[in-house]
Structures are given as C-alpha cells and as structure tokens.
Amino acid sequence: MIHRQPELEKYRNGMEPGAMNPLGSRALYIFQNGIDTVYRIHGSPEWWSISQSVSSGCIHLINQDIIDLYNRVPVGAPVVVL
C-alpha cells in the first residue's frame, strides 16, 4: 500500500483506528506458518472502491461486514480465497 501511496509512509508502524483508517473498522491479518503474509482481510472507508483494481493484495469488505466477520472468526482460522 505504501508503494502505491507513498504519503502513507508515516503510518508504516500503524495508525489509530477510526473512520479514515485505510484498513477500515477491523482487519484480519493473515499469517502462514507464523509469518505475516502482509495480506489482510479488512474493511474500507472507501466502500465505492470495493471490487475495483485498487488493492495491494488485500480483500476489502464494507465495514459492517468485516465487523461481523471479525466477531465470528477465531484466531488461526484457515483462509480460503477463490
């Protein structure tokens, strides 16, 4: 994401949660064998961008859907992307 939007460099180590956070209201960080894949399943404050070619490899959902998913998925759950 920083590669595509260099102005986000200041958030490399994180950003306070909120309506304008690029990861939206919740984010599921995807690890494989204990290593961060750098991929996320997350909400987006820019709901109109979902399903467009603007992702850095992440799976974007509208905020209410990621809130629901976040509340129901346990840590370590397998992720299958089709």
Six-digit token string for 41: 């399943």
Six-digit token string for 49: 């961008």
Six-digit token string for 71: 């509340």
- pLDDT at 26 (0 to 100): 83
Give 8-57 pLDDT, tens digit per residue.
Answer: 788 777 777 666 677 777 888 888 998 888 888 888 777 777 776 666 67
Q: 40 near 30, Cβ under 8 Å? A: yes
More confident residue, 66 or 51: 66
* Percentages of the chain per state (helix, strand, coil), in multiples of 5: 25, 25, 50
